[in-house]
Amino acid sequence: MTIAAVSISPVGVGVSVSRYVTAAIRIVRMQDRVRYRLDPMFTTLEGDIADIFDLVRRMQDAVFEAGAQRVATVIKIDHRRDRDVRMQDKVRAVEEQLRRDRDT
């Protein structure tokens, strides 16, 4: 299982980029192989690494198709082969530790 954080930003289009982000997220919503969570700075993707790479490429294409001439993409990947870990597992582990810290 792979978890990836991706940020795809058009370069040189002004201050607001929401229409470009929307174009990329439309692509994410049209597929069903990669789970996702939209966050303020990144979109978190979860699934097979090949599916994630393909989806990121299509997300980039959507930003270009929305009018961008240049796109900067940041990808951070957590690819585990020792066990199956999901987005919510990682968040839950931190929340449990914080709860233990509070209770001590």
Q: What is the pLDDT of residue 102?
A: 87
Provide the mean pLDDT of the chain: 95
Minimal CA–CA distance to 48: which of 1, 4, 13? Answer: 1
Q: Tens digits of per-residue pLDDT, 15-55? A: 899 999 999 999 999 999 999 999 999 999 999 999 999 99
CA separation for the pair 53, 83 (Å, rounded): 21
- Cβ of 2: how many Cβ atoms within 10 Å? 19
DSSP string of 1-42?
Answer: -EEEEEEEEESSS-S--HHHHHHHHHHHHT-SSSEEEE-SS-
Answer whether residue 63 shows pLDDT above 90: yes
Q: What is the pLDDT of residue 55?
A: 98
The domain that contains 49 carries what CATH number? 3.30.70.930
Q: What is the pLDDT of residue 104?
A: 78
Note down the domain range covering 35.
Answer: 2-103
Q: Are strands 2-10 and 35-38 parallel, antiparallel or unpaired?
A: unpaired
Q: What is the pLDDT of residue 14?
A: 85
Q: How many domains does the chain have?
A: 1
Report the pLDDT averaged over residues 70-75.
97
